[in-house]
Amino acid sequence: MRIKILLSSALLMVLVINGCKKSSKDTPPAPVTATPGANEVFIQNTAFTPASITVSVNTTIKWTNKDNLSHTVTSNTGLFDSGIIGINGGTYSHQFTTAGTFLYYCQIHSGMSGTVIVQ
């Protein structure tokens, strides 16, 4: 009888210990890494991808937020400002009608910046 109790206790402890281990299902997914199409910038992993894009005059660029954080696309000169772009798929578009180099940043995350070169 004593052996059955010891074996039962040992089995119960093994089940409890194994049940408390983290499974691979508990780990968060890796950050999204995607490649934007032509005339498109992704906001992902708290960065603009690509950080610099070159387009022709009268091209519309679309920014898509792939992060779980809100962001902005704000011109350094006030030419354009997206306001807050929603998480996971929010977008903002702007048509560039004149040639030049246009710097922009995220008002929420000061380390995020990008450049649009219009030829």
Domain boundaries of the chain, sorted by first residue: 40-118
Question: Which residue, chain included where needed, has tokens 């992993």?
Answer: 45
pLDDT band at 4 (very low <50, low <70, confident <90, very high): low
The CATH code that applies to domain 40-118 is 2.60.40.420
Q: Is the alpha carbon torsion for 7, 9, 15, 20 positive or negative? A: negative
Cα separation, 42 vs 45, whole angstroms:
10
Q: In what order do the strands lie in the sheet with 100-105?
A: 52-55, 113-118, 100-105, 74-75
Distances 98 to 41, 50, 116, 117 between C-alpha atoms, Å: 19, 21, 11, 10
pTM of the model: 0.72
Q: What are 26-74's pLDDT values in tens digits?
A: 444 445 567 899 999 999 999 999 999 999 999 999 999 999 999 999 9
